[in-house]
Amino acid sequence: MAATLGRICGSKLLKSAPALNLQQANNLSTTKTWTNGQKKLFATIGALTGGVGALIYALEQSVEASGTEVHPPKMPWSHSGMIASLDHTSVRRGYEVYKQVCSACHSMQYIAYRNLIGVSHTEAEAKAEAAAITVRDGPDDSGEYYNRPGKLSDYFPSPYPNEEAARAANNGAYPPDLSYIVSARKGGEDYIFSLLTGYFDPPAGVALRDGQYYNPYFPGGAISMAQVLYNEVIEYEDGTPPTASQLAKDVSTFLKWTSEPEHDVRKQMLIKTVGLMTILTILAYYIKRHKWSTLKSRKIFFVPKKD
């Protein structure tokens, strides 16, 4: 037994190994064994990757610069902060703008009345909004279709029965669904706000067809949607002055919410995650500094008993 322990001590299995110096660390690198051809190959791949990335970025910038539309300016939205939530009173007013103005041409087929609960309306108010529409349902027990008042599970109604009817009513242009329009357009709510407030008389040399209007924020400048937001075009329930810019701001905020209904929840999760990671970081530092460091730095010596 003593001889066995002696051999273990002699082989230094119980002694801490010294740290590697720079020369020893360099000897562990596998790049030392690369041939010149391999080094040239990896260098070429790196250069090509960087060149392709730079080319893609340059092409994207040139395409944006060569477009005929004006890029929307960045607006100081109240929800643009890292932990800033949506203005829910603005969301409610934006719903009023959509209901009284935008819904005449645009659908929101992916938004149900139940989605309004806890965001802009109470459950009773959402039920009242849903009951104001008529939904064709069926068939019933006799195989007939019937009309009924709307329910919370119903989605916002479409102003047209199909795409062909929508095009026929708008000179061949199809009004897009607005459920995710903010996420679907470059510039997001900045683009929506600028588009709604950006109607001007066409400059000299710009010819428009019948039923088209000039808007520099729309690609090509010619848009089939007429200007729909004017001062006092509707009246807000809360008495907010309904200027054209206020209407555009509120409906843009509402469309931001419909495009990202998880917006506030996502930012709440960020706050919770940062708080939890802060606590875990402090705990990990404490364990490393006061618990693990003593285990890591201790030395264990075996002293065999003398016969």
Is it the case that residue 305 has pLDDT exceeding 90?
Answer: no
Alpha-carbon distance values, 60 to 52, 127, 187, 287 (Å): 12, 47, 15, 49
Helices of type H across 11-67: 22-27, 36-66
Domains and CATH numbers, the chain: 88-111+155-264 (1.10.760.10)
- What integer pLDDT is reported at residue 13 of this predicted model? 43
Exposure string of 90-122, with b = 16+ CB inside 10 Å and e = fewer, is bbbbbbbbbeebbbebbbbeebbbbbbbebbbe
CA distance 104 to 28: 71
Is it the case that residue 8 has pLDDT exceeding 50?
Answer: no
- What integer pLDDT is reported at residue 91 of this predicted model? 97
Task: Please write the tens of the pLDDT for every residue from 154-203.
Answer: 999 999 999 999 999 998 899 999 999 999 999 999 999 999 999 999 98
- What integer pLDDT is reported at residue 114 of this predicted model? 97
| 3-class state of residue 134 by DSSP | strand
**Contacts for 242-247: CB closer than 8 Å, 24+ residues apart:** 244/197, 245/197, 247/97, 247/101, 247/196
- What integer pLDDT is reported at residue 229 of this predicted model? 96
Task: Please write the tens of the pLDDT for every residue from 223-253.
Answer: 999 999 999 999 999 999 999 999 999 999 9
Pairing of strands 213-214, 222-223: antiparallel
Helices of type H across 67-200: 88-100, 123-131, 163-169, 181-184, 189-196
> How would residue 16 be classed by pLDDT, with cut points 50, 70 and 90?
very low
> How would residue 41 be classed by pLDDT, with cut points 50, 70 and 90?
confident
CA distance 123 to 120: 10
Q: Which residue has the tokens 């002055």?
A: 241
1 is in an annotated binding site: no
- What integer pLDDT is reported at residue 59 of this predicted model? 75
Summarize the confidence of residues 260-275 as an average pLDDT: 95
Summarize the confidence of residues 91-107 as an average pLDDT: 96
> How would residue 17 be classed by pLDDT, with cut points 50, 70 and 90?
very low
- What integer pLDDT is reported at residue 303 of this predicted model? 85
121 is in an annotated binding site: no
CA distance 228 to 226: 6
- What integer pLDDT is reported at residue 188 of this predicted model? 95
Summarize the confidence of residues 80-89 as an average pLDDT: 94
- Confirm if 226 and 102 have CB atoms less than 8 A apart: no
225 is in an annotated binding site: yes
Closest CA to 14 of 304, 300, 305: 300
- What integer pLDDT is reported at residue 35 of this predicted model? 81
CA distance 138 to 133: 16
Find the length of the chain: 307
Which of 20-24, 117-121, 263-267 is the least confident region?
20-24
- What integer pLDDT is reported at residue 65 of this predicted model? 52
Find all residues with CB under 8 Å of 247, minimum gap 6, and list them. Answer: 97, 101, 196, 229, 233, 234
- Confirm if 174 and 214 have CB atoms less than 8 A apart: no
Greatest extent of the chain over all pairs of C-alpha atoms, in Å:
112
- Confirm if 66 and 220 have CB atoms less than 8 A apart: no
106 is in an annotated binding site: yes
